[in-house]
Structure 1
Amino acid sequence: MSIILNVSVALIIISIVSGWCMFFRNKKLYLNREVDHLKMLSVIIPARNEGRQIGRLLDSINIQTYKKLEVLVVDDGSTDNTAEIVRSFGYRVIKNELNKGWVGKSSACWKGANQANGEYLLFLDADTELYKPDSLETIVNHFEEKGSSGILSIEPYHIVKKWYESFSVVFNIIVVTGMNVFTPIKSKLKPAGAFGPTIICSKEDYFNSGGHFKYCDSVMDNFGLAKAIEEKGLPIHCYLGKQTIHFRMYPNGIKQLVEGWTKSFATASESTHPLVMTLISMWISGAFVASLLLIISPMLSNSNWIIISFILYSIYAVQCYVLARRVGNFPFFPHFLFYPVLFLFFTIVFIRSLYLTKVKKSVKWKGRDIDV
């Protein structure tokens, strides 16, 4: 029994170290210089039934200091008042018709890009919100510092307001770490793809690479675009969006949250480097082992195991919270005191995603059945 306990403690410690290694770098955007505003920026927003949320994004665009821009909202078959809200802001609405072989968002992005006038294209999800008046300047600034080449993608900071939204936390952490570029050896690992909610690229690179058209049947439009860019030998840069761009992912209930993570998570995980996937797997496994050790420790004859298990459990809880705050405003209480529930939820949804994407090869999202 003592051997099993000692091995468990060693596994938990290794798992905690794995957690820090998989999310070693906290890459955020900063405005390093004034942007000259010489480049026309086309903001392209694909939207399907986003009437409840898109107004916040448009409000945040209205107060931006970067003024040389146009806003194109591509209505991807909405059945709510999305188009009316956009027009009330005075912005252009483009109707998208989904052609055979296309997946919705890729089609909408391609439609918008073909009608854009800007030298830079910025694709924004409708549930995002620019955090500061200089957020667009910050994004353009970093893109130009990277040579205005390839794509720069940003994972928005997740704003949670309802209790169930905290169940996204493990997904949010793994979406970021699974990109391969947040480890201590990021320079030796190529990005797994690009973050979908916020992508900026030059119009020239977009069309030279084939853009969203190249992999129009990809459920993960951001991974399809990243692959097209990479095939042209162009770079991909990934950053975190805290204090630059935020979003609220699934405000309409836990069903929406489950469907959202189910539709793409298992597919996206295939692009993660085996080394990073090992770190992630160790981190997840350690969370369950730490909670199991805490449960059985009162049954052991040596009371020291209660103290040891409590310390390890507490360290895991604190680590989860620290990593979570890098990607969203997740509250510590009560969620991280009972963090095994968050990991269990993640595991169940991930298995569901594997089943639907690999066995049934069909997922549902926003009223559409999508073949994968």
Structure 2
Amino acid sequence: MSIFISELKGIFTSVSAMLIIFGGSLFYLFLYPTPYYNDTVATQKIVILDNDNTQSSRDFIFLIKSSPYLEVVSVLDNPNEAQQFIESHRAYGIVIVPQDFEKHLYQRIPPVVPIMANASYLLIYGAIANAMSDVIAEFNAQINFALQTHEYSLLEPELIPLFNPSMGYINYTLAPILIFILHQTLVAGAGIIGGTQNQQFSQGVRNYYATANPLLLVLSKIFIFFCIYVVLFAFYFGFAYEFYGVHVNAHIMDFWLFSIAFIFATSAFGVCFGTLLPKRALSTQIVMLASMPIVFLLGFMWPKEQIATWINDIITFLPAYSGINGLLRLNQMGASFGDVREYFLSLLFLGVFYIFISVVMIYKKTNRW
């Protein structure tokens, strides 16, 4: 109990740690910039759901396959299979050829072609929408020539943005960025505390840190940071998401069960990060320098399939990776808890893993072997 009280006092009397944890979390919540640049994207993967299976639908699909901006991964007749392609990120869009497609063309009743694209990636959504608009314009021209008329646009697209109905910055980037802010402020705050203790020990200070049970030290720190960030999570997801109009679809029990695992893993990672630092000043420097590259490697700004495999393997050791991807699926994509089970188990593993590393590092830093 004395170790816990000492750690509690050490954390809450550290002005720099409190400034990062509370000041940083609140400051970035309202003032976080949007340093993202316009860019172009390459060929986008889509699947086609052919509900007509006629010569006209096959001609239309042939035109889609001819587009230099689209890659048709598969032509299906089962909507559940198409959904699996989207959820597994094997494709980022679905083009649906409606039933009676050919019949309506020759009756000069414009068939509506739904085009669903993942609007969580705005550049990808725009690329698919623009490419399909070109395909439909070309198909209309061919049909009008075949029917010897120029009076009709016989094919009408219906663009459906998936996972980002507002098509705005809020649901595209702000939702994961808020989670990332909490991750980074926790890691930086815990790093300051760990770096301070290491710095004091190297200067000859021999307080409770030098003799206390390392496991109890680590667990005390984790519990304190865990309690602080449960409150901040409640504030972010209770107030901030509603304030900014971010869509939340997760069941409250699923959300909190997953969030508890995320806070636990991040707390353990932050404590471990602190045990590695010889000086407290290094904590904020490292976190600030690493934040921007990490944002682009987490899978929500840019598809992970277009990031080098070895980088993807490394980034999974950050709790932010599993935490953000899992919470995005729960909150923005309406996934069930079973769909994010892999991320949940990964967070539990990381929490235990970083506790072990932290204990080993404290033993080493305090010269106990």
Higher fraction of helix: 2
Which protein has greater RCO, CA pairs closer than 8 Å, 6+ apart? Answer: 1
Higher fraction of strand: 1
TM-score normalised by L of structure 1? 0.29
Structure (1 or 2) with the larger CA radius of gyration = 2
